[in-house]
Amino acid sequence: MRGYDKHAFEPFAVTVDLAVLTLRAGALHVLLVERGQEPYAGQWALPGGFLLPRESAETAARRELAEETGLSDVSGLRLEQLRTYSEPDRDPRMRVVSVAFTALLPDAPEPHGGGDAAQARWQPYDQARPLAFDHERILADAHDRVGARLEYSCLATAFCPPEFTLGELQNVYETVWGVALDRPNFRRKVLATPGFVEPVPGAARLTGGRGKPAALYRAGTATALHPPLLRPSREGRPA
């Protein structure tokens, strides 16, 4: 490796990709766009695009989300950086390095295409294939990350509207993890964690339909869960 010019550097294109997840009708959905341009024109992909000259990756992610899907300023949308994908041939046009983000939304406003996207829509997570580029891998990584972060952080409330019932919060865990949780135990655990949720004092209640009305809660001030809310043990199955 000696002898190459130490100051030489290759220019790369830098993009962002977004794995935006939400819950609709009790199922995990992901925001997809139909590509309007080559390569992969007509195929579905994660929203995203090139960084502008003076943008940070997070700024670019918010801009592309707004441009391609019409989702903007969605009640404090929290983006979390997932990782960066830099394999040399991940884009057939040229060398592209992509910074991937995850985001979670409570309600699901309908997106609409724009910019490079012919159209945009929520797609059930299980049916989000095939995807352009290496976006299937990015989406799978995002799912793993969100599942893991539910254990140790208060992230689950980001899937819920500003005021929610403990049943709705439990649905988040069950849907993302794909397991059933015991309701009384979940309740005990959540309420025993200081700062996770706080009750809405106005004796509020909400009826989705049948059954006893549930008390409403708001997201608490904590961001980390101590102790964590571990998913049911996959005993004997070393990860």
Partner DNA sequence: AGTCTTTATAGTCGAGACGACTATTAGTCG
Partner DNA sequence: CGACTAATAGTCGTCTCGACTATAAAGACT
Phi/psi for 224 (5° steps) reads: -110, 150
d(CA 145, CA 35): 26
The answer to whether 129 contacts DNA (rule: CB under 7 A) is no
Out of DNA, its own copies, none, what residue 52 binds, judged by CB under 5 to 8 A for its kind, is its own copies
Closest distance between its own copies and the C-beta of residue 223, in Å? Answer: 6
For residue 45, what are its two tokens?
A: 């992909």
Q: Taken in order 156, 172, 127, 32, is the CA torsion positive or negative?
A: negative
Interface with DNA (CB under 7 A), residue from 84, 87, 183, 221: 183
Instruction: Please give the residues from 2 up to 31 whose contact with its own copies meets the rule CB under 8 A.
Output: 6-15
Out of DNA, its own copies, none, what residue 234 binds, judged by CB under 5 to 8 A for its kind, is its own copies
Taking alpha carbons only, the member of 50, 105, 101 closest to residue 76 is 105
Segment lying near its own copies (by CB under 8 A), choices 85-93, 129-137, 171-179, 184-192: 85-93
Segment lying near DNA (by CB under 7 A), choices 94-102, 113-121, 136-144, 186-194: 186-194
d(CA 219, CA 46): 28
The answer to whether 75 contacts DNA (rule: CB under 7 A) is no
DSSP 126: G
The answer to whether 182 contacts DNA (rule: CB under 7 A) is yes
Closest distance between its own copies and the C-beta of residue 219, in Å? Answer: 12
First to last CA, the chain: 38
Interface with its own copies (CB under 8 A), residue from 40, 43, 55, 177: 55
Taking alpha carbons only, the member of 44, 15, 42, 48 closest to residue 32 is 44
Nearer to its own copies, 80 or 123 (CB): 80
Could you count the other beta carbons within 10 Å of the beta carbon of residue 26?
8
The contact mask relative to DNA for 130-159 (x = CB under 7 A, - = no) is ------------------------------
The answer to whether 230 contacts DNA (rule: CB under 7 A) is yes
Cβ contact 182:166 at 8 Å: no
- Is residue 108 helix, strand or coil? coil
Out of its own copies, DNA, none, what residue 9 binds, judged by CB under 5 to 8 A for its kind, is its own copies
The answer to whether 93 contacts DNA (rule: CB under 7 A) is no
Could you count the other beta carbons within 10 Å of the beta carbon of residue 193?
18
Residue 79, strand partner residues:
103
Give the binding site for DNA (CB under 7 A).
165-167, 182-185, 187-189, 192, 205, 207, 209-215, 227, 230, 232
